Structure 1
Amino acid sequence: MSTITEAQPVGLARLRQIDPVAVLSFALGIVGLAIAAVPLGHVALHRSTSRKDNIARTDSRLIAVFGLIAGYMVVAVVLALTISAGINYLKEAS
């Protein structure tokens, strides 16, 4: 037999429990503003450790991690393009 311990929030009530900093990090990472997405993602991860609600903490951490992944991917692409342009410039200069 299963026992019901506590009603879990669903729908809009569950979305309202997600940390807005994590959502902002995710949105900025998707848009490509890594300079803001990465620090906000780290802040959201740190803030999620102090959350008492397990579901909200898990959702916030997941969104913050996605924001960090998107932000770091933008950093990696910009770095790769910069290195590629530098190598191309050095080849043309010589």
Structure 2
Amino acid sequence: MAQVIQIGNSKGIRIPQAIIKQTGLEHKELQFKVVPEGLLITPLQQLRQDWALQVDAALAGQSDSADTDWLDVDLTEAAQADEQQQW
């Protein structure tokens, strides 16, 4: 099992390699959460880490360019047009 060990002036947790591989924690940044049962260790979720690649891949799969015309709109001009429009 895992053990708390001395590392310099700090404490560390020595986790067996088999558990690291089984849980997919190898080469990951970890986050710790104190729960009533003890300590929960999970990989840090980096939101939107590769979202730009995913969007590009999704757009590359589309054949109709009409669906993507809105991506080329200059939002600055659109915002100014809305301000000038009288209701």
Whose strand fraction is larger, Structure 1's or Structure 2's?
2
Which structure ranks higher in relative contact order (CA pairs < 8 Å, sequence separation ≥ 6)?
1
- Would you call these one fold, judging by a TM-score over 0.5? no
TM-score by length of 2: 0.31
TM-score by length of 1: 0.30
